Amino acid sequence: MIVEEAERKRIIAARNKALALVLLGFVVLFFAITIAKRSGHSAAETKAALEGTTAGAGSVAH
């Protein structure tokens, strides 16, 4: 199959833009995860709350 270079460049440019957006999304996601982890409400905290202990709460604060 013969592909025009212009078409090839267009596809690659669109792919690069999509990849850049995905990477940016992941940066934002990891930033948000870090903030959320520091503020608690993790599974470990829930488990500790259900068991009536506070053992899990400290582990997410670090």
20's CB contacts (< 8 A; 6+ apart) are none
Find the angle CA(52)-CA(55)-CA(61) to the nearest 5 degrees.
125
- Selected from 23, 24, 35, 58, the binder of other proteins by CB under 8 A is 35
Site string for other proteins, 39-58 (x = CB under 8 A): xxxxxx-xx-xx-----x--
> In which region does residue 58 sit, left (phi positive, over 0), alpha (psi from -120 to 50) or beta (all else)?
alpha
- Residue 61 in contact with other proteins, rule: CB under 8 A: no
Contacting positions for other proteins (CB under 8 A): 1-8, 11-12, 14-15, 18-19, 29-30, 32-33, 35-37, 39-44, 46-47, 49-50, 56
